Chains A and B, each alone.
Chain A
Amino acid sequence: MPDGPDAFAFTVSTPIKIDIWSDIACPWCYIGKRHLEAGIASLGDDAPEVEIEYHSFELAPDTPVDFEGSEVDFLAKHKGLPAERVQQMLQHVTGVAANAGLDYDFDALKHTKTLKAHELLHFAKAQGRQLELSEVLFKAYFTDGRHVGRVDELVELAAEAGLDADAAREALDSGRYAADVQADIAQAGAYGINGVPFFVFEGKYGVSGAQPAEVFGQVLTQVADERDGAAA
C-alpha cells in the first residue's frame, strides 16, 4: 500500500460501469439480470464495485396497453405458431428462470405495452432507485401477474420500490421522461443493438444475451484486471 498523497489514487477506485439495455417484457432480461447478480456475487470479496444503469428498449412497440387474452394467445397470434408450441416454449423459459431462482407465471402474466414502465424507470433513475424499481417491475410482470402498463398500477409499484407515489404519478401523467425513453431506444439503434438483454461494460465491452453467471464473473474480472493494469 503506497503512502503519501498518491495513496488516495490507489485506494479509491471508481465502480465499473455496466449499462444494460432491456425491456420489462423480456423474459431473458430478468434471467440475465439474475445471472449478472450471481456472477458478481460469485467473485466474493474480489468482486469489483459496479454501477448499473438500465436503458430502455421496447421489444414490441405495437403492443396495446390492454391486451385481451393470455400470453399464449398473444405469442401464438404474433408468431403464427400453434398454441401447443408456444406453451412448450414458455415451459422452457419457465424452467430456465426457475434455475435462476425466478418463479415465472405465464398463466397470470398480463401482456402490455411497456412504454410507461420505461418512463417510470427513468424517473426512478433520477431518484437514485432505478435498480430497486427494475426488480419490482420484473417481478410484478413475470411472477405476480400485475399490470405494468397502467399508470395506477405503476404508481403502486413505484411506491413499493420506495419512490414517492405522487411524484411518480406526476412524472407519468406529464410524460416528462418520454423523451429519455426514446433517446435510449435511439441510442440502442445507433449502437446496432437489435436484441436484449445487452450489456456494456465500461462503455467498451459488449456482451449480448442472458449469459451464464460465470461469464459475467469472467468479464468483470477481465475488466477490473485491465483497469488495474492500466492504473499501475
Chain B
Amino acid sequence: MTTEADAPATTPVEAPTPAGADGATASPFTMLPGAAGAMVCEGDVCYVPGVASDVE
C-alpha cells in the first residue's frame, strides 16, 4: 500500500540531541542500533535521531 501517509517526512527540522550524545549525560545502557527511521518524541517534536525529519 502506498499512500501519502506512508511517504517519509522530509522537511528538515532541528533535531534534538540524542541521549548522551551531547556529553552531558551518558547512557548507562549498551545501545542497540535498531532500524533506521525509528521515531522518538521529545517535547512537541518527533524525529529520527541523526536524520532530522519531523513527524508528530
Query: Is the pair B44, A59 in contact by a Cβ cutoff of 8 Å?
Result: yes
Interface check A167, CB cutoff 8 A: no
Given contacts A206-B32, A207-B34, A208-B38, contact A75 B56 (CB under 8 A): yes
Within the assembled complex, what's the spacing in Å between the Cα atoms of A90 and B27? 31
Q: Do most interface residues of chain A lie in helix, strand or loop, or is the interface mixed?
A: helix
Given contacts A206-B31, A207-B34, A208-B40, contact A91 B19 (CB under 8 A): no
Instruction: List B contacts of A90 (CB < 8 A).
Output: 56
Partner of B29, one of A28, A200, A212: A200
B4 to chain A: closest CB distance in Å? 6
Query: Is the pair A212, B5 in contact by a Cβ cutoff of 8 Å?
Result: no
Query: Is the pair A209, B49 in contact by a Cβ cutoff of 8 Å?
Result: yes
**Chain A interface: which size bin?**
35 or more
Query: Is the pair B41, A195 in contact by a Cβ cutoff of 8 Å?
Result: yes
Query: Is the pair B27, A92 in contact by a Cβ cutoff of 8 Å?
Result: no
Given contacts A59-B44, A75-B56, contact A92 B18 (CB under 8 A): no
Can you spell out 29 A-B residue pairs with CB atoms less than 8 angstroms apart? A26-B41, A28-B39, A79-B45, A79-B56, A88-B4, A89-B9, A89-B55, A91-B5, A92-B5, A92-B9, A95-B5, A96-B6, A190-B25, A192-B19, A192-B24, A192-B26, A192-B27, A192-B28, A193-B27, A194-B19, A195-B16, A195-B41, A204-B29, A206-B27, A207-B32, A209-B34, A209-B38, A209-B39, A210-B39
